[in-house]
Amino acid sequence: MSLRGSAAIIGAFDTAVGKIPDRSATALCVEAALGAVRDAGLTLSEIDGLVTCNSMAQPYMYHAEAIAEYLGMKPRYCATAAAGGGATFTVLYQAALAIDAGMCDTVVIAMADSLRTGLSREAAMIMQSSSGHPQYETPYGATVPGYYALIAQAYLHAYQARPEHFAAVAVSGRRHACQNPHAEMQKPISIEDVLASRLIADPLRLLDCSLVSDGGSAVVLTRADRARHAAHRPVYLLGAGEGRSHEHISQAASLVHSPARESGQRAFAMAGLAPADVDFAQVYDCFTPVVLIEMEDLGLCAEGEAGDFFLRGDGAPGGRLPINTHGGLLSHAHPGNPGSLFALTESVRQLRGGEGARQVPNARVGLVHAQGGILSSHCTVVLGTEEVL
């Protein structure tokens, strides 16, 4: 069964990001949900579905039900996601399936967390070390940056790449962030700045690593026939696909390829499109080397050539294929699991048009991709305007 064109995003909203000590993760999630409903030109009484992602800073046993309670909703469809960054786009197409099956008509997907101000340093370190295999990884003391450093070293060796290739990813994302007034990081950086930043886990330096932020985001998804009467230009779900290979990095078959390949192929097949049709892409950028691997696996660059793509400025503003046009997890914000939802709201805005100097010209097709775990679980979604239906 294909979901192509069956549902559309009609509302999108982001809270402020960065350091937000005066609002809890719950308050940010509620703010995001209400903002997206308002952006869609709807009221809560017209929403009959709710999907959230549990918070690390303020978790609930039944998170979506708790947020529904705060909102005063009694949704027909209610679900909590708990599968890392990739869950963002997994729940998007699952909500589209629920709409297609008649379980609901209009769904709010809202996620927020307060990793910057809502966790103590001790709690943050426990979170960083909890993803390892309890028998084969955790006893050796590695944290998340250490696991991604293994991936970085493997990529350098496999393709004779250089640290400058990683640094170029950070510089490209920061150039986009500097055009986005809502991004957390607004100061331009150079490749030299990245290479001079503090070493975190060899070869990853501070500016190779994503931010730690507070913030929330939400979208409203509805049936295609309802979307035509929305307050804004609808953004249609054209294709979606998942891919998985492992849970723990010690069990990965490869450190330079990922299931982004399968997720992308499945999403493009449903959409009836190819990588060459994409006008911009939002690619999960928790660490700079991951972007190079995902770009190649998604078919946006040839194998081993993604580093040169960024060195040439092809992914920067005005480049051949703009990547992470809001600044990404490296420069816009990364509040944990909700981080990739900002890539979705950014894609909606780019496909609506009207983003001024940072608008991607003639944007009709956008790709959004996210992954959870240590390069483990991937989901890719292809979005488009009415012209490509």
- β-pairing, 49-53 with 77-81? parallel
List all residues 6 or more positions away from 192 whose beta carbon is below 8 Å from its beta carbon: none
pLDDT of residue 314: 98
Tell me the pLDDT tens digit for each residue of 163-196. 999 999 999 999 999 999 999 999 999 999 999 9
Domain covering 7-118+211-388 in this structure, CATH number? 3.40.47.10
* Confidence (pLDDT) at 143: 86
Q: Span 1-11, mean pLDDT?
A: 93
Q: How confident is the model at residue 362 (pLDDT cuts 50, 70, 90)?
A: very high
Per the CB < 8 A criterion, the answer to whether 107 and 77 are in contact is yes
Average pLDDT, the chain: 94
Residue, of 64 and 124, whose pLDDT is higher: 64
Rounded Cα gap, residues 195 and 386, in angstroms: 43
**179: number of Cβ within 10 Å:** 17
Residue 12: the pLDDT is 98
Model pLDDT, residue 129: 61
Domain boundaries, the chain: 7-118+211-388
- Which of 11-20, 134-143, 329-338 has the weakest average pLDDT? 134-143
CB-CB contact of 80 with 94 (8 Å): no
208's CB contacts (< 8 A; 6+ apart) are: 152, 166, 167, 170, 194, 197, 200, 287, 288, 289
User: For residues 266 and 262, what is the distance between their CA atoms, to the nearest angstrom?
Assistant: 6
Is residue 368 within 8 Å of 281, Cβ to Cβ?
A: yes
Nearest to 156 by CA among 293, 333, 295: 293
Give long-range contacts, CB 8 A cutoff, 24+ apart: 90-95. Answer: 90/242, 90/379, 91/51, 91/53, 92/219, 92/221, 92/237, 92/240, 92/344, 92/381, 93/3, 93/237, 93/240, 93/379, 93/381, 94/51, 95/7, 95/49, 95/51, 95/221
Is residue 126 over pLDDT 80?
Answer: no
pLDDT at 1 over 70: no
Joined tokens for residue 178: 């500097």
Handedness of CA 254, 258, 259, 261 (dihedral sign): negative
Q: What is the mean pLDDT of residues 368-382?
A: 94
What is the reported pLDDT for 82?
74
**DSSP output for 338-353:** GGGHHHHHHHHHHHH-
Check pLDDT > 80 for residue 25.
yes
**Which has more confidence, 131 or 43?**
43
pLDDT digits (tens, 9 = 90+) for 314-336: 999 999 999 999 999 999 999 98
- Whole-model pTM: value is 0.96
For residue 188, the model assigns a pLDDT of: 98
Q: What is the pLDDT of residues 230-266, one digit of tens each?
A: 889 999 999 999 999 998 999 999 999 999 999 999 9
Predicted local confidence at residue 161, as pLDDT? 98
Q: Give the helix/strand (H/E) hosting 71.
A: helix 63-71
Q: Strand, coil or helix: what is 146?
A: helix
| pLDDT tens digits along 297-306 | 999 999 999 9
- List beta partners, residue 217: 14, 111
